């Protein structure tokens, strides 16, 4: 069964994964499993690398289609493989909203080290990764479960803390810039200014960009993240999206008004730049005309 799971994940270009006993992971939301109605015994954990190139005004993960779609497709494929071998098994896949602490599971599974910015850092893909997991009621030994390893931490060079726009990683702020861009309603002038300063309509990658482990990020082998990619989001592109197309984007979960507001905030910065350039051009032209007269 272990080899079949491996073949399934490699078929989706997922090469970093492990299986653990559910008893070894940290359950953070028992109600999820209570609703599922079965007793979990094992969990498959895998990393989904997403770096597909640089972006202009979006966090790198948000340029692609919503990663939850990819995780759902992989989990369904895994479930099909497992059900073929164990037809009566109970299986449930997750990504983000999971009954377990996914980062902790990935760390004790030896899939990466813990970064000071709270992210998992993988040796091959840096911190540009998502975590997917599949919980089952199958005996962990039957799935070839691994023995948990001791959690390793990064070197603590401080680069991510120094780069943090709001200072929250230094214990100085209340929210990260990414959270600010995802907040509904009115933003303060200081928050709007931060967005303009770092030119972000959604998310923030400053702590990741500064990390030595991300110095030369490896492109993801997962084709999904190249599909319909938008490295530079504009109001024209956004307004041209149908509701269905919009629903497939990572920034859709906070509804259109939020991302529209953010783009409008950035457009004010561009307007100021254009006006400033026009002022310099006009001044230079007037100066040239005066010199020509004399």
- Cα pseudo-dihedral 36, 39, 42, 43, rounded to 10: 20
Residue 96 known to be catalytic? yes
Domain assignment present for 38? yes
Domain assignment present for 287? no
89-122 pLDDT per residue, tens: 999 999 989 999 999 999 999 999 999 999 999 9
What integer pLDDT is reported at residue 134 of this predicted model? 98
Same domain, 96 and 25: yes
Same domain, 88 and 11: yes
The structure tokens listed for 53 are 């190139």
Same domain, 130 and 194: no
Same domain, 86 and 199: no
Rounded mean pLDDT, 195-216 = 97
Same domain, 65 and 89: yes
Rounded mean pLDDT, 133-162 = 97
Percent of the chain clearing pLDDT 70 (strictly above): 91
Same domain, 167 and 266: yes
Domain assignment present for 284? no
The active-site residue out of 96, 175, 228, 239 is: 96
What integer pLDDT is reported at residue 272 of this predicted model? 46
Domain assignment present for 105? yes
Q: Domain range spanning residue 52?
A: 2-143
pLDDT at 59 over 70: yes
3-41 pLDDT per residue, tens: 999 999 999 999 999 999 999 999 999 999 999 999 999
Same domain, 30 and 134: yes
What integer pLDDT is reported at residue 290 of this predicted model? 60
For 203-223, give the DSSP string.
---HHHHT-GGGSSPPPPS-G
Same domain, 136 and 180: no
pLDDT at 145 over 60: yes
Q: Confidence band (pLDDT; 50, 70, 90) for 271? A: very low
Domain assignment present for 273? yes
How many domains is the chain partitioned into structurally? Answer: 2
The residue from 110, 143, 176 where one domain ends is 143
118-132 pLDDT per residue, tens: 999 999 999 999 999
Same domain, 135 and 201: no
């Amino acid at each position: 069964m272990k080899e079949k799971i491996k073949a399934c994940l490699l078929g989706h270009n997922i090469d970093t994964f492990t299986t653990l006993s559910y008893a070894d992971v940290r359950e953070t939301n028992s109600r999820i499993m209570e609703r599922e109605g079965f007793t979990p015994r094992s969990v498959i954990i895998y990393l989904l690398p997403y770096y597909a190139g640089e972006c202009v005004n979006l966090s790198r993960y948000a340029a692609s289609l919503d990663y939850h779609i990819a995780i759902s497709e992989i989990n369904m494929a895994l479930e099909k493989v497992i059900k073929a071998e164990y037809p009566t098994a109970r299986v449930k896949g997750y990504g983000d909203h999971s009954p377990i602490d996914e980062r902790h599971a990935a760390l004790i599974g030896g899939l990466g080290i813990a970064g000071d910015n709270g992210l998992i850092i993988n040796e091959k893909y840096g911190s540009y990764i998502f975590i997917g997991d599949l919980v089952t009621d199958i005996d962990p030994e039957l799935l070839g479960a691994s023995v948990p390893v001791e959690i390793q931490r990064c070197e603590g060079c401080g680069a991510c803390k120094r780069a943090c726009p709001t200072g929250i990683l230094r214990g100085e702020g209340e929210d990260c810039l990414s959270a600010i861009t995802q907040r509904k309603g009115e933003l303060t002038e200081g928050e709007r200014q931060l967005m303009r300063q770092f030119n972000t309509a959604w998310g923030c990658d400053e702590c990741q960009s500064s990390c030595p482990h991300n110095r030369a990020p490896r492109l993801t082998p997962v084709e999904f993240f190249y599909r319909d990619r938008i490295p530079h989001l504009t109001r024209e592109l956004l307004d041209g999206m149908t509701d269905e197309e919009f629903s497939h984007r990572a920034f859709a979960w906070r509804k259109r008004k939020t991302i529209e507001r953010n783009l409008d905030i950035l457009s004010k910065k561009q307007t100021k730049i254009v006006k400033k350039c026009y002022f310099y051009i006009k001044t230079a032209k007037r100066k040239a005309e005066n010199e020509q007269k004399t």
